[in-house]
Structure 1
Amino acid sequence: MSEVVGEIMTLMLMAAALGMDAFSVGLGMGMYKLRLRKIFEIGIIIGIFHVLMPLAGMTAGRFLSEQFGALASFIGGLLLIILGVQMIWSSLKDDDEKVITPVGLGLLFFALSVSMDSFSVGLTLGIYGAKTVLVLVCFGVMATLQTWAGLLLGKKVRGWLGAYSEALGGAILLAFGIKLMAVFL
């Protein structure tokens, strides 16, 4: 029982790290004059993408694990490290991001862009044989909640937390990657 609780806690922490980019971009988008119904819709769509992308990644990860065994595990840890460093790096850059409007194709592009890292993490979790339904529920629910929080908070503040939240998410993924790679060192 404690093993399941530990796995849920780990997955929720990973899901929170992955949802940080949705949260931080949601902060910026929250500055649009959005109705609560639109905020609800955006959160649901982001949540769906945070289910579909790790599912695709887990499927690919399980295939790689069966084909390449320990090498696939090493690559999975390396992917988390690279993703974590990339998230930290992008949070430190000073460029202005292009604003994507949260309607139509812009919303789908936004959802895809903030869930791409979920594919990589899903790949790693597939390699390690994580419980698929548990991963997808944790990732989908957390991404939806963080998107809503970012959008609602964005209506109230000017984005002062955005870069820091993405850096925190990157640091969490980096730590998990190092932990997974430590097995091989």
Structure 2
Amino acid sequence: MDLFSMFFLAVGLAMDSFSVSITRGMILKCNLKYAFIIALFFGVFQALMPVAGWLAGEQLAVLVKLWAPWIAFILLLIIGGKMVYEGLSHAEEDEICQIFSIKDILILSIATSIDAFAVGVSFAFLNTPILLPILIIGLVTFALSFIGVYIGKRVGHLFEGKIEVLGGVILIGIGLKILLENLV
């Protein structure tokens, strides 16, 4: 696989993380140092999942292909539902950025990187060396996720109180999109 193809594969894999990063940035009420943490989680998981898929190879390919869309949908539904609930409950946020939860970011990182596992399986089938692709995937995802949080932070104030509900609905929509794309 050439560098050009690897780059566009990485961009394609990073789109879910980019979208989720925008929604997190929209509701982020604290400074942008958290953008780095979110981007790091997304980048690392997008880089590690192809390695796991590459190592698993053929044994788990059928199982992952069957269940991955459902797993991603359920995880995004849970996080999105939680955001909608919190947005509708009008809970007060304190100054230390309650909305930022490592547990939530971890779940979102897993949910948005499940498709990268399948890519890793395909790398194993194609006998593709794994190091360069995972570096590119991780770096592209990191960069796009950081930019996504920044974009969300800049436009989030336009929607104020409704932004967390919108972010939750967007996450649920992304999960539904992943599910529907893989059912047909």
Distance in 1, matches of 2:122 and 2:15, equals: 19
Structural mapping, 1:1-185, within 5 Å: 7-31=2-26, 32-61=28-57, 64=58, 97-99=80-82, 101-157=99-155
Superposed displacement of residue 98, structure 1: 2.8
Mapped contact 2:21–2:38 kept (Cα < 8 A): no
Task: Tell me the amino acid that sits aligned with residue 34 of structure 1.
Answer: C
Superposed displacement of residue 22, structure 1: 0.4
Distance in 2, matches of 1:152 and 1:112, equals: 21
Task: Tell me the amino acid that sits aligned with residue 150 of structure 2.
Answer: L
Superposed displacement of residue 34, structure 1: 3.4
1:24-49 C-alpha deviation (Å, 9 max, x unpaired): 01111111223121111111111111
- TM-score of the aligned structures, taking structure 2 as reference length: 0.63
Match of 1:177 in 2: none
Task: Tell me the amino acid that sits aligned with residue 138 of structure 2.
Answer: G
- TM-score of the aligned structures, taking structure 1 as reference length: 0.63
Distance in 1, matches of 2:133 and 2:12, equals: 13
Match of 2:91 in 1: none
Superposed displacement of residue 99, structure 1: 5.0
Distance in 2, matches of 1:99 and 1:149, equals: 24
Structure 1 stretches of 4+ moved >6 Å: none
Task: Tell me the amino acid that sits aligned with residue 51 of structure 1.
Answer: A
Residue aligned with 1:27, SS: helix
Task: Tell me the amino acid that sits aligned with residue 125 of structure 1.
Answer: F
**Structure 1 pair 34/147, CA: closer, same or farther in 2 (3 Å)?**
farther
1:68-103 C-alpha deviation (Å, 9 max, x unpaired): xxxx8xx7xxx6xxx8xx7xxx8xxxxx93356542
Aligned-pair Cα RMSD in Å = 3.6
Distance in 2, matches of 1:108 and 1:20, equals: 17
Superposed displacement of residue 50, structure 1: 1.2
- How many percent of aligned residue pairs carry the same amino acid? 27
Unaligned runs of 5+ in 2: 74-78, 84-98, 157-165
Distance in 1, matches of 2:15 and 2:30, equals: 20
- In the alignment of these two chains, the number of paired residues is 144
Mapped contact 1:102–1:110 kept (Cα < 8 A): no
